[in-house]
A = this chain, B = another copy of it.
Amino acid sequence: MGTQAVLNGVDVQQLMATIDAIKANPSLARFTFRATSEWVDGGRSRTVIQGFYGAGQEDTSRKNPFVLEGDEPPVLLGTNAAPNAVEAVLHALASCLAVGFVYNAAAQGIKVESLQFKLEGDLDLHGFLGLSNQTRAGFQNIRLSYRVKTDAPRKKVVELCEYVQKTSPVLDIIRNPVPVTVALEG
């Protein structure tokens, strides 16, 4: 398992250096991510994401903000301007697992040819509509499948898949409770 300088598009030397830096100074691991969001009309809203705090400083690498839109389909009273909020959760989960899989593969010297995910989440509107106290508002469950193309032995891929599940931030956020503090300003 030699480490190439760049594998799967990941700078393995930088990855190892990051791990060493955090071992030497654990506070470098503390990140705070941020977003601001504004309602547009109906089911439509717009989120702006740019700066964050991490690795001991405010990040200034993003010259322009990212803008993400949300909306609902007509059957949910929207205009299909963008995916809805729970679909955005599926995107977040796939994006997170891709990073986790590919970075850890690179760290182990595994070349990934391709990686695809399919995701499905079941939701019963009784919760959102306040029609039942027994029905949760969010996804009742999520089904996810991976398809990986790599030369690595199947056993390695299975182990990697399991490791990534233990260390994926978004999978943790979905599978386990996160405290959310809500304040109403003004």
Contact = CB atoms under 8 A, between A and B. Distances in A.
Interface residues of A, number: 127
B141 A179 contact: yes
Nearest to A68: B91
Contacts of A59: 73, 75
Contacts of A180: 93, 141-144, 171, 174-175
Interface string A36-67: 11110111110101001011000101100010
Interface in A49-102: 49, 52, 54-55, 59, 61-62, 66, 68, 70, 72-78, 80, 82-96, 98-102
Nearest to A70: B95
Given A14-B77, A15-B77, A87 B35 contact: yes
Given A74-B61, A147-B185, A37 B139 contact: no
A117 B100 CA distance: 29
Tell me whether chain A's interface is mostly helix, strand or loop, or mixed.
mixed
A67 to B, nearest CB: 10
B184 A145 contact: yes
A18 interface: yes
A172 B138 contact: yes
Contacts of A165: 182
B112 A88 contact: no
Interface of A: 8-11, 14-15, 18-19, 22-23, 26, 28-39, 41-45, 47, 49, 52, 54-55, 59, 61-62, 66, 68, 70, 72-78, 80, 82-96, 98-103, 112, 114-131, 135-148, 157-158, 161, 163, 165-186
12 contacts: A15-B77, A32-B120, A39-B102, A47-B95, A49-B87, A66-B82, A86-B92, A86-B173, A88-B88, A136-B176, A137-B169, A165-B182
